[in-house]
Amino acid sequence: MLRRALLAMSASESVRHLVTTVPLTRDVVARFVAGDTADDALAVTRWLLDDGLLVTIDYLGEDTVDPQQAAAVTGEYIGLLERLAAAGMSGAGRAEVSVKPTAVGLDLAEHGEKTARENIARICAAARNAGTTVTLDAEEHTRIEPTLRILGQLRAEFPDLGCVIQSYLRRSPEDCRALAVEGSRVRLCKGAYSAAADVAFTARAEVDRCYARCLRVLLAGPGYPMVATHDPRLISIAGALATLADRPAAGFEYQMLYGIRPAEQRRLAGQGSRVRVYVPYGSDWYGYLVRRLAERPANLAFFLRSLASHG
Ligand SMILES: Cc1cc2nc3c(=O)[nH]c(=O)nc-3n(C[C@H](O)[C@H](O)[C@H](O)COP(=O)(O)OP(=O)(O)OC[C@H]3O[C@@H](n4cnc5c(N)ncnc54)[C@H](O)[C@@H]3O)c2cc1C
């Protein structure tokens, strides 16, 4: 209930203005975001790689309706990949990038899908030069179909382009079956958005059950599953299913968000699992922050406490 209300409230311009202009917010943002610049993202990436973790970097921003902005975001990713390669951090996919299709043009009034596809192809080419990969983030449910279309078209040229499946959507087990093919990189998460009951599960237990169903399909298939969750129960189910499927530790990875359960990230890496941390950076952190607060009432309390202490 609270989660749905927060996600809905985040669309209000006055709420956005309030949240982004209060100075306290910086402390809360710093917990989940590497910083404003590529320098900040590279510094955090270096530190995580040195700790034995893998990284995927997200340049914050979404829902772009301006072609120039979409081109600028694309340029930012290409520059970032060049810098990762120059710093020796991208080889063998140690640090890769996550891209939101709406940040690179999907929502443009004219030729949105074509523009997003072309921009993503440019980022994939830069990633290939850097020895690494790209994963397409999943956004609101209305964007899933065009995102999967772009994925299907680009995988012919870039077979290692990855995508995200959200277990809150009823369609996801079927999408997993279609995507559980050789070389296919699929990140499974619960989903940070909300949708009506005809397309989505609204009860947590149902979302979790669907996650386990999707895990079973992905871990039994020939692709490369990326298990993105902080949920201890699902993490242990994933480990057990991987063992059942005789999947070696190098045959899948766990993924968690920067700033969330860092000790667990290191524990899993310490036991020999591949663990990738999702590191967002950039000044357009509002949507990302609201989704993190909506996920967990304790985060919201932390936010409100800092509001009070700075007030
Ligand atoms: C690497 C990665 C990439 C993602 N990419 C996408 C994407 O492309 N599209 C999309 O819709 N969603 C994405 N998500 C977000 C995801 O859908 C969930 O919203 C988010 O991960 C919370 O769900 P959970 O699986 O951790 O389980 P939950 O049931 O939400 O949490 C389980 C436990 O994890 C801890 N935890 C979870 N969230 C938080 C938090 N915000 N702060 C502190 N502790 C927390 C708590 O201990 C909690 O009890 C991604 C998540 C990860 C880890």
| pLDDT-derived band at 25, boundaries 50, 70, 90 | low
| pLDDT-derived band at 14, boundaries 50, 70, 90 | low
| pLDDT-derived band at 26, boundaries 50, 70, 90 | confident
The proportion of the chain whose per-residue pLDDT surpasses 90, expressed as a percent, equals 79
| pLDDT-derived band at 311, boundaries 50, 70, 90 | very low
Give the range among 106-120, 227-241, 277-291 with minimum mean pLDDT.
277-291
For ligand 1, what atom is nearest to the CA of residue 168?
17
DSSP assignments along the chain, one per residue? -HHHHHHHHTT-HHHHHHHHHSTTHHHHHHHH---SSHHHHHHHHHHHHHTT-EEEEEE-------HHHHHHHHHHHHHHHHHHHHTT-SGGGSEEEEE-GGGTTTT-TTTHHHHHHHHHHHHHHHHHHTT--EEEPP-SGGGHHHHHHHHHHHHTT-TT-EEEEETTBTTHHHHHHHH-STT-EEEEE--SS---TTTB--SHHHHHHHHHHHHHHHHHSSSEEEEE---HHHHHHHHHHHHHTT--GGG-EEEEETTSSHHHHHHHHHTT-EEEEEEEESS--HHHHHHHHHH-HHHHHHHHHHHHHH-
Does ligand 1 have an atom closer than 6 angstroms to the CB of 256?
Answer: yes
pLDDT in tens, 47-94: 999 999 999 999 998 889 999 999 999 999 999 999 999 999 999 999
Q: Ligand 1 pocket check: which of 202, 204, 215, 295 to mutate, most ligand atoms within 8 Å of Cβ?
A: 295
Rounded to whole angstroms, how far apart are CA atoms 106 and 136? 12
Closest CA to 299 of 25, 62, 98, 59: 25
Please return the burial class of 61, using the count of CB atoms within 10 Å of its CB with bins 0-12, 13-18 and 19+.
Answer: buried
Residue 27 has pLDDT above 80, yes or no: no
For ligand 1, what atom is nearest to the CA of residue 136?
8
Residue 204 has pLDDT above 90, yes or no: yes
The proportion of the chain whose per-residue pLDDT surpasses 70, expressed as a percent, equals 89
The per-residue pLDDT for 284 is: 87
| pLDDT-derived band at 23, boundaries 50, 70, 90 | low
pLDDT in tens, 257-295: 999 999 999 999 999 999 999 999 998 888 888 888 888
Does ligand 1 have an atom closer than 6 angstroms to the CB of 255?
Answer: yes
Closest CA to 177 of 212, 149, 217: 217
Does ligand 1 have an atom closer than 6 angstroms to the CB of 103?
Answer: no
Q: Ligand 1 pocket check: which of 63, 209, 231 to mutate, most ligand atoms within 8 Å of Cβ?
A: 231
| pLDDT-derived band at 24, boundaries 50, 70, 90 | low
- Which residues are marked as active site? 137, 187
- Where is pLDDT greater, at 8 or 141? 141
Does ligand 1 have an atom closer than 6 angstroms to the CB of 191?
Answer: yes
Residue 200 has pLDDT above 70, yes or no: yes
Q: What global pTM score does this model have?
A: 0.93
Residue 307 has pLDDT above 80, yes or no: no
Protein residue with its CA nearest to atom 28 in ligand 1: 231
The per-residue pLDDT for 179 is: 98
- Overall average pLDDT of the 16-43 stretch: 82
Does ligand 1 have an atom closer than 6 angstroms to the CB of 306?
Answer: no
